[in-house]
Amino acid sequence: MIRIPFLSRSILLAAAFALVAGCSQLKSLPLIGKLAGSDLPKPAELQPNPNTLQVRQAWTAAIGKVDFPLSVQVVGETAYLANGAGTVIALDAASGRELWRASAGAPIAAGVGSDGTLTSVVTHANEVVTFADGKELWRQRLPAQGYTPPFVAGARVFVLAADRSVTAFDGRTGAKLWSTQRPGEPLVLHQAGVMLAVGDTLVVGQSGRLAGLNPASGSARWEAAIASPRGINDVERLVDLVGRVSRVGNVVCARAFQTAVGCVEASRGTLLWTQKADGAEGIHGDATNVFGTESDGKVISWKRDSGQRAWVVDALLHRGLTAPLVLGRSVIVGDSFGYVHLLSRENGTLLNRLATDGSAIAAAPVVAGNTLVVVTRNGGVYGFVPQ
C-alpha cells in the first residue's frame, strides 16, 4: 500500500477493493500529482499571538509515535489514546496521570473507541481487540482493514471496515452478532469514517451517505445522501464521509470528502441541507453553527439551520489543519507544525495560539472535563486549561 500525503498531512490512503475468491484484497492507487510534496504551496505566516483568551498548560505526557489516523475517545474525565506500535492508554485528563496501559499485539490502524468500561482498537492485522481496565478480553478477525475507531455502546462493539461492512460484536465475549455491507465506490480513505448512535439507531457513513441501522440486527432503517459520486474516474468519484461529526439533538452534520458538508435529521433520515465544500477533515459545531477546515486551510462557519456561510477565515492557509473543536467561545484547530489555534466562534479571529513539540497535531483536539487534550505525531500529549 502507498501512503499518499494530503497537503502537509500524511493521513490519506487511496485503495481499491477487489473481491477475489470471497476475500477482500486492498489494491493501492495513486491520487493526483498535485499532492506531491514538492508542489505544496507555502504555508501562511503566523500573525502575532494576541493571547486574548488565557490558557495554561496543565500537564504533558508521552505515548510514543502516532502514525495512524488517531481519534481520541473521551468518557467523563478519562481520555483513551493509542500509539502506532500497538499501545493503548487511558489517561486522567485532569492530571495527565496514566490509569492503565495495554498492548494490542500489533500496530494499530484505527482507534480508540470506548464507553469507559470496554475499549477497542483495530490493528493492521485486521483484528478488533477489546480491553477492560487494561486487560485484553478478546480479539476477532475482520473481513477487511478498518480505519474507523470501533464504536462501543450498549455492551456491543461496532466496527466499520474499509469494504464498507459494519459488524457488531458482543462486548464481553467477542461473539459476532451480525454483519452487513453496502456496495460503494472502489476507493476508500485511510482515515476515520462516521459511526455514532442517535437514540436507538446506529448511524454509519457508507460512501457519501449516512445510513441508519438497527443496532440489534444491522437492518437498514433509512439512508440520506450528503454527496453522490460524480466524475469520470475512481478518484473523482470518492465521496466517503469522514469523522468527526457535529451532533445536536437528532441532527447530525457531516463532511463528504472534498465534496460537501450537510446535515441530516437522524431520527427519520431526512436531509436538511447540503453545501459544496472542499475539505478532507471532519467538522464540529454548536446549536447555531457548524465549523470546518478546508483542504487549503480556510476555516469556515456555516449556519446550522440553513447551511449558509456565516464567516470564512484564511489566516491559516496551507498549514494542514485538523478537524475543529468547539469549546466555549472558541473554535480550536491544530496544524501540521505543532500549533493549536484558538479562533473566535463569532468571527474566526485569533484568540490565542498554543505550541507543542513541533510535530503535526495527530488528532482533532478533544475536551475532557475542563481540559483541552492535544496529541502530536511524535506522541506528545498536552493538557491545556482555559482560564
Domain ranges of the chain: 4-43+54-386
Scanning the structure block, which residue is given the C-alpha cell 481519534? Answer: 71
Distance CA 295, CA 19 (A): 32
Query: Residues with Cβ < 8 Å from 307, sequence gap 6 or more?
Result: 261, 262, 263, 272, 273, 274, 275
Check whether 384 has a pLDDT greater than 80: yes
Range 300-323 average pLDDT: 98
* Distance linking the first and last C-alpha atoms of the chain: 45
State the pLDDT at residue 13: 32
Question: How crowded is residue 244: how many other Cβ atoms within 10 Å of its Cβ?
Answer: 22
- Give the residues across from 313 on adjacent strands: 299
Q: 4-43+54-386 adopts what CATH topology? A: Methylamine Dehydrogenase; Chain H (2.130.10)
Rounded to an integer, the average pLDDT of 143-160 is 96
Which residues touch 41 (CB under 8 Å, ≥6 apart)?
A: 296, 317, 318
CB atoms under 10 Å from CB of 208, counted, come to 26
pLDDT of residue 207: 87
- Tell me: pLDDT of 12 over 50: no
User: What's the average model confidence in pLDDT over 146-175?
Assistant: 96
pLDDT at 16 over 50: no
- The band of 186, judged by pLDDT with boundaries at 50, 70 and 90, is low
More confident residue, 348 or 186: 348
pLDDT at 239: 85
User: Looking at residues 325-350, what average pLDDT do you find?
Assistant: 98
Identify whether the C-beta of residue 168 lies closer than 8 Å to the C-beta of residue 155. Answer: no
Q: Is the pLDDT of residue 31 over 60?
A: no
Query: 91-100: string of b/e by CB count within 10 Å (b at 16+)?
Result: bbbbebeeeb
Average pLDDT of the chain is: 89
Q: Residue 35: is its pLDDT beyond 90?
A: no
Provide the pLDDT for residue 29. Answer: 31
Check residues 204 and 237 and name the one with the higher pLDDT.
Answer: 204
